[in-house]
Amino acid sequence: MKLTRFRFNSRAFTLVEMLIVITIIALLASLTMGAYTYAMRSSKRRTTTGTFEAIKLALERYNTEFGEFPEPAGKEQMVEIIPGKSYDTSGAACLYQALTGDGYDQIKGVSASTGSDKSSAASDGKTEGTAEIKNMMLVEVPRTIWTAKSSRYLIIDAFGRPFQYIKAASATAAAGGAGGAATTATTVNSTYDLWSYSEDEQNITSTSIQSQEDPKISVKWIKNW
């Protein structure tokens, strides 16, 4: 009986073939990561927009309750939020206190003697007290929309960056009642400017009034003007 032998012709991959396979794998990985990054960025932007709308409603409640919008006690309080990137936190600190009821030292013109009925001037991250609940303008304050940086509590967006908030300057009257004196505008709106830099990593020190002069600055922002 004659046995038939089978010969298997095995051949190793050539260098060119291996490079082609590696290139295809790298391309697929790049496409997958790109899609994932885009999805994450879109999700964070949607979350930021939701928080943004909640802040606007809460500010209206504050205005109804106290007859004015809150004004930051300080300005240009720069804090490093992301390594190598510092942001102005004065507006975010004011928003945190005005909308959560936790403290009042970051709100201009508010003190214990003005009937604020808050337990402490400085924030401590707690909003369960009777006095603080009474002054809470946001219906819910999830931990994801605030953080503590450099002993200051801030309202932040989904990208982890502080919301920017500026109250419009009050018009001043000219001496002797001879009409109103010209006031240098600090905001686009007549009430307040509110914005998030969102995914913008370049124009993080630009203000709302600067964006009006150059609209390209605020293309990626979420804003109320």
- Structural domain boundaries enclosing 206: 50-171+183-223
Helix (H, G, I), strand (E, B) or coil at 155: strand
Q: Are 196 and 211 in contact (CB under 8 A)?
A: no
Q: What is the mean pLDDT of the chain?
A: 85
- What per-residue string of b and e applies to 194-205 under the rule 16 or more CB within 10 Å gives b? bbbbbbbeebee
Q: Percentage of the chain surpassing pLDDT 90? A: 56
14 is a domain residue: no
Token pair 């924030």 in the structure block, residue? 123
**The residue type at 185:** A
The answer to whether residue 7 sits within a structural domain is: no
The token pair that represents 213 in the structure block: 């002069």
Residue 24, domain member (yes or no): no
Task: Report the SS3 class of residue 212.
Answer: helix
pLDDT digits (tens, 9 = 90+) for 130-186: 566 677 888 778 888 999 998 899 999 999 999 999 999 976 544 445 555 566 889
Q: Which amino acid, one-letter code, is at 89?
A: T
For residue 88, being part of any structural domain is answered with yes
Q: How many domains does the chain have?
A: 1
* pLDDT tens-place string over residues 45-94: 999 999 999 999 999 999 999 999 999 999 999 999 989 999 999 999 99
pTM for the whole thing? 0.77
Token pair belonging to 198: 């969102």
Burial group, residue 15, by CB count within 10 angstroms (0-12, 13-18, 19+): exposed
In a domain, 38, yes or no: no
**How far, in Å, CA of 187 to CA of 166, rounded?**
7
**151 assigned to some structural domain:** yes
Residues 37 and 23: their CA atoms lie apart, in Å, by: 21
Residue 118: pLDDT above 80? no
Whether residue 9 lies inside any domain: the answer is no
Whether residue 1 is contained in a domain is answered as no
Q: How far apart, in whole angstroms, are the C-alpha atoms of residue 169 and residue 11? A: 79
Tokens of 224: 């109320």
Percent of the chain with pLDDT over 70: 81
Residue type, 217: I
Per-residue pLDDT band at 9 (split at 50, 70, 90): low
The SS3 of residue 99 is: helix
